[in-house]
Amino acid sequence: MKKIQIAAMQASQVILGCMRIIEQGKNPVKVIETAYENGINFFDHADIYGAGQCETVFAEALAQTSIRREDIYLQSKCSIRPGVAYDFSKEHILRSVEGSLQRLKTDYLDTLLLHRPDTLMEPEEVAAAFYELEKSGKVRYFGVSNQNPMQIELLKTAVKQPLYFNQLQFGLKHTEMIDAGLNVNIPNQASHMQDGSVLEYSRINKMTIQAWSPFQYGFFDGPFVDNEKFPELNQKLKFYAEKYGVTASGIAIAWINRHPANMQTIIGTMTESRIKEVTEASDIVLSHDEWYDLYMAAGNSLP
Give the number of other Cβ atoms within 10 Å of residue 272's Cβ: 17
Choosing from 36, 49, 217, 244, which is the catalytic residue?
49
CA torsion 239-243-249-253 (nearest 10°) is -120
Amino acid found at 43: F
Q: In this structure, what are the phi and psi dihedrals at residue 15, rounded to the nearest 5 degrees?
A: -110, 140
Tell me the β-bridge partners of 144. Answer: 114, 166
Number of H helices, E strands in the chain: 11, 14
Q: How far apart are CA 245 and CA 164, in angstroms?
A: 34
264 in Cβ contact with 9 (< 8 Å):
no
239 in Cβ contact with 293 (< 8 Å):
no
Residue 164 bears catalytic tag:
no
User: At a CB cut-off of 8 Å and minimum separation 6, what does 99 contact?
Assistant: 47, 52
Catalytic positions are 49
